[in-house]
Structure 1
Amino acid sequence: MVFTDQLHRPVVLEAPPQRIISLVPSQTELLYTLGLEEQVVGITKFCVHPSTWFRAKTRVGGTKNIHPEIIRSLSPDLIIANKEENLASDVTALMQDYPVWVSNVQSLEDAYDMIAGVGAVTFRSTAANALITQIKVAFNGLQVLEKPVPAAYLIWRDPWMAAGGDTFIHQMLQRCGLQNVFGKQLRYPEISDNELANSGCQLLLLSSEPYPFREKHIAELQAILPAASIQLVDGEMFSWYGSRLLEAPTYFQSVITACRQLFRQG
């Protein structure tokens, strides 16, 4: 059986996989949603959802520092990886010994394709297609901002790093009706205090991951952007592209409602 991953590579399986390792937190949660409790044997130390798996499943290292010897001991017949979250050198090495299905998600449409692809390669297409339908219905119900609000989304401190225009986070900001002031830059650019101050940002979102922004960081950034509204947000909602997308629209609606009040829309 031959499947195609999101790098357009063929992934050959001799039988439905019974020993799966996931190297991506959001895709680990997806495997759980697809009902693969018995088949998943290994996850990373960042795969915190579901909590039962985090406590019970074998951890094979981090997303960027996997332990090949642990993976070998688990004898996987399928590994699920991601182009951005995992190191290319690690994934290439694993491909020499195991079937590896690699995702590449930069948009909501890519996420739908990823869910369908993971569903196919794990023989859970019916559940995957049902999940995609549910997510689409949820996103179609979003009542977005009538007038785009110039916004920035920070993922790191020292140096400041923001989500650029070719990221999944950028796509989620657009779905809310937010205009990414760093949307013309790629990936996660480093931003100076001066660039931030002159960006035109009216709404600054501080993510809970990968850097754990807290209330104490708001004052530091308010000094740079005295007129902007600064809010802490759940990074999983903006950057996890698996079954967490089912919860994201409700969360986004709360962000949108807060923006309407702040910027007197509606």
Structure 2
Amino acid sequence: MDSPPEKIVCLVPSITELLFELHLDQQIAGRTKYCILPSDKITDVPVIGGTKYVDLNAIKSINPDLIIANKEENTKDIVVALRKSYRVYVSDVSSQTEALEMINDVATLCNCEQKGKELVKEIDLSFKFIKSLINPVRVCYFIWRKPYMVAAKDTYINSMLELAGFENCFDYLNRYPEIELKDLMTINPDHIFLSSEPFPFSMKHFKEFQEVCPNATITIVDGQMFSWYGSRLKKFSKYINDLYSLLKI
């Protein structure tokens, strides 16, 4: 890209939040309905669809010079269709290391390299303040209900669990496998994490897990903290340390 983009359409909620962190408010010209943060600024940005479906006519009316997508969030068909007419950057993030690389990539594309480097440095430093766990803590991280799905290896969520010092009971499986609740009886985790998104788990779901795994502690965890890569990483170490205190570990 010869010149910095003047109109950006972002199809990734966590990266939309990142763009605001990089002070690109004036360049953000379109977003998905799931791009909801920062709440005090996002409402002024036009919605062009969701992460799996976009309104091509709405994007055409914006005529962006950069569209930001993600390999996991958005479909291949969407990316292929958009690339016929627009410059599209597709991120692929499955670890905190790749998240930091993505921040630098986006900052470079948007001509704010220094802000990107400063943010990466701040995040990298914050990770050093995550408390070390003395004993292994085995967890299961649920992202969906009926079918029950967990985050396993080769996922960004698993990478963040590892960064926090947790052992993922399903790290022998790939990506987001479907499981049966009865599997928990054999695995016998110390903690069961029910994510606040994409499925909105709440306390009313505790009983079904407690029935098959009575010795595990069940906790609702902030899905954004574990799955939103970008500027939200600044808050991860404090969130995890607070979670340790809540779990008394």
Q: 1:62-96 CA distances to partner (integer Å, 9 max, x unpaired)?
A: 10111111111110000010000000110111111
TM-score, scaled relative to structure 1:
0.91
Counterparts of 1:1-266 in structure 2, within 5 Å, are: 13-259=1-247, 261=248
Gaps of 5+ in 2: none
User: Could you list the per-position Cα deviations for residues 4-34 of structure 1 after superposition, in whole angstroms to 9, with x for gaps in the alignment?
Assistant: xxxxxxxxx2321000000000000000000
Mapped partners of 1:200, 1:98: distance in 2? 49
Q: How many residues align?
A: 249
1:31 counterpart letter in structure 2: L
SS state at 1:58 partner: coil
Shift of 1:61: 0.5
Conserved in 2, the CA contact under 8 Å of 1:163 and 1:188?
A: yes
- Note the alpha carbon deviations across 1:162-202, whole angstroms, 9 max, x for none: 00111111011111211000011111100102212222211
Query: How big is each residue's C-alpha offset from its partner over 1:42-63, in whole Å with a ceiling of 9 and x where there is no partner?
Result: 0100001011343111001110
Shift of 1:258: 3.1
The question of whether the paired residues in 2 share the 8 Å contact of 1:30 and 1:243 is answered with yes
> What's the offset of the Cα at 1:220?
1.7
**Any conservation in 2 of the 1:144–1:175 contact (CA below 8 Å)?**
no
Q: Secondary structure at the match of 1:52?
A: coil
List alignment gaps of at least 5 residues for structure 1: 1-12
Percent of paired sites with the same residue:
42
Name the aligned partner's letter for residue 30 of structure 2: G
- Residue 219 of structure 1: how far off its partner (Å): 1.4
Measured after TM superposition, the shift of residue 148 of structure 1 is 1.6
Task: State whether residues 31 and 47 of structure 2, in contact with CA within 8 Å, keep that contact through their aligned partners in structure 1.
Answer: yes
Match of 1:130, SS?
helix
Indicate the RMSD between aligned Cα atoms, in angstroms: 1.0
**Separation in 1 of the partners of 2:226 and 2:186?**
25
- Give the aligned residue type for 2:121: T
